[in-house]
Chain A
Amino acid sequence: MTAGELTHVDETPVPPKPVTWHPEVIDGPLSTRALLRVDEALRLADAATKLTFSVYIGDLVEPVRESAENLHAELVDPDQSVLLAVSPNQRVLEIVTGSSARRRVLDRDCKLAALSMAAAFGGGDLGGGIVAGLAQLADHAGRS
């Protein structure tokens, strides 16, 4: 057998590795430091509440609320999910809770979190606002 000769061709397809590195977030709205903080806050919120928190940052088509609800509906388990949709250019923030999540994170808790997030966004701090909002929402949802 010479070097480079194939003796056995493995026909079984290799399962795709989970994608853990998304280079496109570098062009996203958050700095590296803010990305790390948001990632940590998301992980903690999910682990503490067993709900699925997700954060969308980007433009929302009008009507904004409908658009955010459509995004929320695309999640795997919308009933158990909480979506924070932030549009920095439209200066709009939407928090969408699923039907089960809604019983744990009340609408008035969402409003409170939205207020503090909007305060941070108004100061130009996107990462800080998202981290604060996630922490508040997770806090209100309580332990599962």
Chain B
Amino acid sequence: MTRYDTVTRYDTVTRYDTVTRYDTDTKGAALSQEFVKTLLIMIGIAVAAYLVIAVLVYAGGGRRAKRYRPGRPFAFRPVWFLSAPERQSGATLAPGRELTAASGGAGRVVRPRETGGASDRW
């Protein structure tokens, strides 16, 4: 079914009322198509921006994002720093020794004469 809207205008040149008919059905279809297209573009832009930001966040953050917070589990590889390990004897140069020392050194009784120092907790 085709429906028409009529608009009457007064033409100043011919001095007649002109009647224009608009095909509302086809116009409505065209309008809704245009509307859907615009809507899709708008939503598409928003989704694309969201995805780009999400990719940047997850790609850039990575490993260094981990941070020590007291009371929360903090997974890391144990390290033992010396200012000049190459000038120390081979004891500290053996690869991996400093990493296993904490767990393996319990049974040994190699002590200097006396040690001092302090302890603290937080």
Chain A: residues with CB nearer than 8 A to chain B? 18-20, 24-32, 38-39, 42-43, 45-47, 52-61, 64-67, 69-76, 78-79, 82, 88-89, 91-99, 101-102, 105-107, 110-111, 113-115, 117-119, 121-124, 126
- Over the window 79-122 of chain B, the binary record of Cβ atoms lying under 8 Å from chain A Cβ atoms (1 yes, 0 no) is 11111111011011101001101110110101111111111111
Distance to closest chain A CB from B118 (angstroms): 4
Name, among B85, B95, B120, the residue most crowded by chain A CB atoms within 10 Å (CB to CB).
B120
A95 B119 Cβ-Cβ under 8 A: yes
* Interface size, B (range): 35 or more
B15 adjacent to chain A (CB < 8 Å): no
A54 B112 Cβ-Cβ under 8 A: no
Distance to closest chain B CB from A121 (angstroms): 5
- Over the window 36-75 of chain B, the binary record of Cβ atoms lying under 8 Å from chain A Cβ atoms (1 yes, 0 no) is 0000000000000000000000000001100111110110
Among B77, B84, B108, B119, point to the contact of A65 (Cβ < 8 A): B119
A52 B111 Cβ-Cβ under 8 A: no
Distance to closest chain A CB from B86 (angstroms): 3
A71 B101 Cβ-Cβ under 8 A: yes
Distance to closest chain B CB from A42 (angstroms): 4
- Selected A-B contacts with CB under 8 Å, 5 pairs: A54-B81, A57-B79, A59-B103, A98-B115, A124-B69
Say yes or no: A124-B103 contact (C-beta < 8 A), given A28-B76, A97-B116. no
Say yes or no: A74-B122 contact (C-beta < 8 A), given A29-B68, A58-B78, A96-B115. no
B78 A93 Cβ-Cβ under 8 A: no
Say yes or no: A28-B77 contact (C-beta < 8 A), given A73-B112, A95-B119. yes
For A70, the chain B residues whose CB sits under 8 A away are 101, 105-106, 108, 110
B99 A24 Cβ-Cβ under 8 A: yes
A107 B118 Cβ-Cβ under 8 A: yes
A19 B80 Cβ-Cβ under 8 A: no
Among A42, A73, A114, point to the contact of B83 (Cβ < 8 A): A42
B83 A46 Cβ-Cβ under 8 A: yes
For A97, the chain B residues whose CB sits under 8 A away are 115-117
